[in-house]
A and B are shown apart, each in its own frame.
Chain A
Amino acid sequence: MEALSLREDNGDKTAVAGQNTLQLIAFSIGDQTYGVEITTVREIRAWNGATPLPNTRDFVRGVINLRGTIVPIFDLRARFGDGQTSPTKNHVVVVMSVGDKWVGILVDAVSDILTVSREDIHNVPEGNAIDTELLNGIITHDSRMVGLIDLHAVVNGAKLDG
């Protein structure tokens, strides 16, 4: 499984994430862009299948072997309620640490590393519970919206009840 090389954002090549800036890994689902803080990302790998886990919600795509430990994979599209992704070799799993656990999330593609200022993070508009639950904030980058993913919320509630 080859790790994808990340294209750096040209404008920010020398920028170092300081007190007030935040570096994000941006990835896409459909034509929407989302981001997670770069420090939580452990590894990016191409989709290579996963062993399905029974008795779990549909956004749990299964588990993979990450160098000898078992890591669950969450389908972000399904988590947003847009139905399961039909993954191909071009889909990407971003492995992240959430608390003391490692999880992978399945996304369509990883696009950028963004450096943004903390002041530019906007609140998620009240309204849809899914939005406020799963997003920590919204950032505008190149006049496009980037949703900041709340990893803890994504992982929660994976088990099928009853």
Chain B
Amino acid sequence: MSDLDDFKATYFDECSELMNELEEQFAAIEGGERDADRLNAVFRAIHSIKGGAGAFGFSALVGFAHAYETLLDYVRDGRVEMTDDVVNLCIRANDIVGDHINAAQSGEELDADYGQEEKQRFDAIARGQRGDEDEWSGDIIEEFDIEFTPVRVELSVGDEEAVEAEAAPEPDTFDAPPMPLEPGHWEVRFTPYRQLYSRANDPLLLFRELAALGEISVRAILTDIPALSDFEPFGVYCSWEISLFAPDLSEAAIREVFEFVDGDCSIEVVPLGHTMLPAAAPIPAPVAAVPPAKADENLMALTEDEVAAAPVRLVVDTPSVPVAEKPVAQEPVAQEPVADEPALSFADLANEISASAPPRPVPVAAPKAVVAPKPAASGEGGEEGGNRSVGVQSIRVDLDKVDRVVNMVSELVITQSMLTQQMDENLRARYTELVRGLEVLAQTTRGLQDSVMAIRAQPVKSVFSRMPRLVRELATKTGKKIKLETIGENTEIDKTVIEQLSDPLTHMIRNSADHGIEDPEKRKARGKPDIGTIRLSAEQAGGNILIIVEDDGNGINRERVLQLARDKGLVAPDITPTDEQIDQLIFAPGFSTADAVSDISGRGVGMDVVLSNIKKIGGSVHVRSWSGKGSRVTLRLPLTLAVLDVMLVKVGESPYVVPLSSIVETMQCSGAIFERVPSGGQVLQVRGEYVQVIDVAQRFGMHSNKAPDDRFVVLCESEGSQKVALVVDDIIGQQQVVIKSLEENFEQVDGIAGGTILGDGNVALIVDVQGLRVHQIHQNAA
């Protein structure tokens, strides 16, 4: 991966943060908070996006963002009023910016006229304020003033060869003929060592400071620029000669300017006492401070005039010293570490300069001016320079690295719990110190685990913030009026869970908008407000996170669902499912209640995706519906995917685990009351409630060697407080396990949610309680 890719990745990371920020700001603006702070935040975000886009050459994005930014600027100035229309246009514009970013990221091309309409509306609004017909909206790209200064390359004849072909370094000569100088002229030779930039120094700043002392003229020595293949992008390859005219200046004052780069460069200060340079005519030698990065043909081909005419904002105040900036984000070209090269000694360099320079206006009798270079003692050393102690607030870490730590900590927790289990009473009595040690270890590992999990936890905001846009689009497409409310968006969940949330949420909201919320007329007729509401909320409930999507629409049409289910053979004609069972049917694959397939939904893949995605991450889905009043889909998600508290049971001879979070109670079969039902199945009576019984051994086609009374009932609560009783052969105990995927090397198996590895190295399978129950319904129905 090249550095440029790194930069790009960072840019896109930032873009997604900025887009979230925009979404947030506009949520507030839409809500009526139209103060300047919010507008400024919006402006900043768009400006940052545009700036980065300019640097990477995403011209479509730059063009659009620029037009948008101009509008924002007018709004900020008060020239354009922030009406609802403008707000809506801006929200639409955000979406377009987002699309441009996505397109740039994936390398796709958007339609050339994408966003043109909006752009023209920006223009119209802005023009309306200006009252003239400026063509400012025309070719925007030409005038944008992004803050990335293009690299300037000087291409005088001869130099080009030196640069490109690594020809023998051509002596760089002063163009100006030697002339007599009046006192007060200094010549400063500034030769940075290669690491100058990495110490956060910038020659430009030094030159500015020098320029403040007097009249200066700077020229760059480019002879040391290596061939592209040897070029290290962040290395400094040029040195500079500065002629300074300042009548009453001491050498010390000049040296003071270079105080901060001490050790990173060598400085020669030579007074030019006896020769004279007409002060009125500073050497017009153009300055090329920057070695060409990857040969940018266009840039290289520019003549000097063109360079000057190009839209470069030079940041130098001194009129006579055009100085280009140091490279901003260059494509790295270096294939070989520069460390392989012999280090350039200052003396060599100085010799070379003097040797290559033609007769120079420096008298031999010049006062002792050549100061011995400071040894580059600080070398690659690093911190002792002390100039880089930035307060770091946050760091970006590759998720893979965090995951590795998480996995290891998970294994550690399990090993620790295994060790603890090995301690029987006997051992405990004998090795009290060991026991104490194990207890401390247990605490520490728990703490370690919590801390690691906290690293991965993220607010659900990152997913929720994508939904307003979806709702807007759905509202436009369906012609309905829909409002989205979000609650609890700061609830934190493991990042891996969050990633799995986006698709299910999209489907659920689509479903609500398409099937749930009614047309405005219909809503009015029913006495509801004409704007339908979809509420998206997140809350923590024990070891789970609940994500709830509610709407105040029509609710599920149960008759129709049941009819369709019967038609598709999902429910046998002689079975009458409960309302709750009917509601769950919408999760069956291929099931759709829509009469016609619209481009929003109706293909019958939506809710199926929700269920499978959520199940994959160990969560469950529950639907409730109130006819004519609305529906609610609840996702119950684990806080983390890494470690699961389970109960270890035995079915036949095999170990199985049941997630502890779904277990209500356990009991011995001998004390349980079973009843038969007409289907041939059994139900369990628990405190007056009848619960469906699933004999796990039977369901899994295994033989149980135990007498029926010696077996155990594990009463589980699946979604919607619907209980199910699993009959297992033995209960072994509680444990923490790491969930492993079966699908990694095999495929999904009915009734099994995954696998895990026990302390003894054997694999135990995780029972998919909900899956067993749903399967049972189908089996009974069949």
Contacts and interface: CB of A to CB of B under 8 A. Distances in A.
B is bound to A: yes
Contacts of A81: none
B749 A54 contact: yes
Given A63-B742, A101-B745, A53 B762 contact: no
A72 B757 contact: no
Interface in A58-109: 62-65, 68-72, 101-103
Given A101-B745, A158-B746, A70 B701 contact: no
Interface string A21-62: 000000000000000000000000000011111111000001
Interface string B751-782: 11001010001111100000000000000000
B775 to A, nearest CB: 9
B747 A103 contact: no
Nearest to A68: B757
B174 interface: no
A159 interface: yes
B745 A54 contact: no
Nearest to B700: A54
Given A68-B757, A70-B741, A70-B742, A53 B765 contact: yes
In this complex, the interface size class of chain A, counting residues with CB under 8 Å from chain B, is: 20 to 34
Contact of A70 (B699, B700, B755): B755
B121 interface: no
Given A54-B701, A55-B701, A158-B747, A65 B752 contact: no
Interface residues of B, number: 26
A17 to B, nearest CB: 27
A69 B744 contact: yes
B749 A53 contact: yes
B740 A69 contact: yes
Contacts of A159: 747, 749
B654 A51 contact: yes
Given A51-B764, A53-B765, A54-B701, A71 B745 contact: yes
A72 B744 CA distance: 10
Contact of B765 (A51, A68, A71): A51
Contacts of A52: 652, 654, 702
A55 B751 contact: yes
B160 interface: no
B655 interface: yes
B485 interface: no
A158 B743 CA distance: 13
A69 B699 CA distance: 26
B751 A54 contact: yes
Nearest to A162: B782
B521 interface: no
A101 B744 contact: yes
B568 to A, nearest CB: 15
A52 B764 CA distance: 9
Contacts of A68: 411, 740, 757
- Nearest first, the 7 closest Cβ-Cβ pairs linking A and B are A54-B700, A51-B763, A72-B746, A101-B745, A70-B755, A65-B757, A55-B750
Interface of A: 49-56, 62-65, 68-72, 101-103, 158-159
29 contacts: A51-B655, A51-B755, A51-B762, A51-B763, A51-B765, A54-B700, A54-B749, A55-B701, A55-B749, A55-B751, A55-B752, A62-B763, A63-B742, A63-B746, A64-B763, A65-B757, A65-B761, A65-B762, A65-B763, A68-B740, A69-B745, A70-B742, A70-B744, A70-B755, A70-B763, A71-B745, A72-B746, A101-B746, A158-B747
Interface of B: 411, 652, 654-655, 699-702, 740-742, 744-747, 749-752, 755, 757, 761-765
